[in-house]
Amino acid sequence: MRNTIAVVLKGYPRLSETFIAQELLGLENAGFTLHLISMRHPTDKHTHPVHDEISAPVSYLPEYLHDESLRVLKGWWKSRKQPGYAAARKQFLKDLKRDFSRNRFRRFGQALVMAAELPADIAHLHAHFLHTPASVTFYASLITGLSYTCSAHAKDIWTSSDEDLKDKLKTAKWVVTCTKNGWKHLQSLARDPSRIHLSYHGLDLSRFDSPDEVHKANDGSSAEAPVVMVTVSRAVEKKGLDVLVEAFAKLPKSLNWKWVHIGAGDLVKDLKQQAQKLGLQDHLEWRGALPQTDVLAQYRKSDLFVLPCRIARNGDRDGLPNVIVEAQSQSIPVISTTVSGVPELVDDGENGLLVEQNNSRQLSQAIETLLRDPALRQKMGQAGEKRVRADFNHITSIGYLGNLFEQQGVVKKGAID
């Protein structure tokens, strides 16, 4: 009996996509059978513990078609015999007119391989991200006749053309997304808005127990006890880390503080050079990408979480960064911006402070306020943890997603044993 969901991912496993891994494990624990299909091989040196707990097999599509040309040719030969091939080819040629690129050819080639190599027990296709993973899944769905759905997040919504999104929203059985502003945007483009669902990711709170110790009452007055700030993010434009470094430079010299950055990214070298020019290097620690256990340990050593999200020049932006949820689960107050879904969790003045994007002066003032006031940090941190534990438990989001799959006709293991 067909009862397996093929989940199409841009890359797997990825340290920066803990929320996806958590969801995959949650679906398995709920009784769903998954088969993961990744468009890229992993590049991270580490994995999170959650990756080791996921039992689903993983298949890798050819990342570059010329590297596995024979496999692509076999995929085309087998796929062209399927009834839906003509419709998929027609859609591909339509897409090619507005996006004549190697990337578009690559996605169709990957879809040919995927359609030809799908295991016989696949009942449904599901893509994470509405851009390239959904393109591959859309073509494969047309070829095979299998239904498909999608989880949309942030970059995929805001950097895709409306025409491309409309095609996918029209053909996907449903789309679920994780922020209210993304949900409203997709609803405005959908022929049937009722097929666009809002569900926050939530957090596996069993991995993020309440901290045993109260955060230190440092106020920045002692060099022996600096206030520790942490940021967990990729070093990319939309995270606003260059604005954060500028903000640090505006802090009074008398304040004693330390900032720890966890994450990799193309801009790390540039950020280090910026910090060097501003004379901040002694305050900053760059730790690179780390597994979740090490990230949690750093949250518990930190007094304040800062992430100055912004809209990048290409329109890319965060949704509601999962790291903000993680930090608040550890009673850490958050400083961020009013961009995208952040205000859906962080209430300015209640469980953190929000500033305008790209405003280093406002950001510096917010940081100084919380550096100097440990009582306010404690109050906001406790309010944030209370909100997360009440409203952002991943069990709720897994249940919602599971119901959608069941309505699609996917059968859980227990129902067929």
Token digits of residue 205: 């709170």
- Which residues contact residue 258 at a Cβ distance below 8 angstroms, ignoring those fewer than 6 apart? 226, 227, 228, 229, 283, 284, 285
Q: What is the pLDDT of residue 375?
A: 96
Average pLDDT score over the chain: 94
Q: What is the mean pLDDT of residues 301-309?
A: 97
d(CA 109, CA 129) in angstroms, rounded, equals: 18
Tell whether the model's pLDDT for residue 277 goes beyond 60: yes
Give tens-digit pLDDT for 360-369.
Answer: 999 999 999 9
Question: Residue by residue, what is the 3-state secondary structure of the chain?
Answer: CCCEEEEEECCCCCHHHHHHHHHHHHHHHCCCEEEEEECCCCCCCCCCHHHHHCCCCEEECCCCHHHHHHHHHHHHHHHCCCCCHHHHHHHHHHHHHHCCCHHHHHHHHHHHHHHHHCCCCEEEEEEECCCHHHHHHHHHHHHHCCCEEEEECCHHHHCCCHHHHHHHHHHCCCEEECCHHHHHHHHHHCCCHHHEEECCCCECCCCCCCCCCCCCCCCCCCCCCCEEEEEECCCCHHHCHHHHHHHHHCCCCCCCEEEEEECCCCCHHHHHHHHHHCCCHHHEEECCCCCHHHHHHHHHHCCEEECCCCCCCCCCCCCCCHHHHHHHHCCCCEEEECCCCHHHCCCECCCEEEECCCCHHHHHHHHHHHHHCHHHHHHHHHHHHHHHHHHCEHHHHHHHHHHHHHHCCCCCHHHCC
On the question of pLDDT at 214 being above 90, the answer is no
For the stretch 371-407, pLDDT in tens is 999 999 999 999 999 999 998 988 999 999 999 999 9
Q: How confident is the model at residue 151 (pLDDT cuts 50, 70, 90)?
A: very high
Query: The domain 227-391 is classified under which CATH number: 3.90.76.10, 3.90.180.10, 3.40.640.10, 3.40.50.2000?
Result: 3.40.50.2000
pLDDT, tens digit, for every residue of 285-295? 999 999 999 99
* 416 pLDDT tier (thresholds 50, 70, 90): very low
Name 262's bridge partners. Answer: 232
* Model pTM score: 0.88
Q: pLDDT band at residue 92, thresholds of 50, 70 and 90?
A: very high
Q: Going by C-beta distance under 8 Å and a sequence separation of 6 or more, which residues neighbour residue 302?
A: 215, 228, 229, 230, 260, 327, 332
Percent of the chain with pLDDT over 70: 99
Widest CA span in the chain: 73
**Residues 6+ away with beta carbon under 8 Å from 206:** none
Task: Give the CATH number of domain 4-202+393-415; options: 3.40.50.300, 3.40.50.2000, 3.40.50.720, 2.60.120.10.
Answer: 3.40.50.2000
Report pLDDT digits (tens) over 98-149: 999 999 999 999 999 999 999 999 999 999 999 999 999 999 999 999 999 9
Give 414's pLDDT tier (boundaries 50, 70, 90): low
Ranges of each domain in the chain: 4-202+393-415, 227-391
Q: What is the pLDDT of residue 202?
A: 84
Judge whether 4-202+393-415 and 227-391 match in fold.
yes
- The reported pLDDT for the residue numbered 412 is 86
Q: Indicate if the pLDDT at residue 417 is higher than 90.
A: no
Q: Average the pLDDT over each of 41-45, 274-278, 295-299 and give the range with the smallest value.
A: 41-45
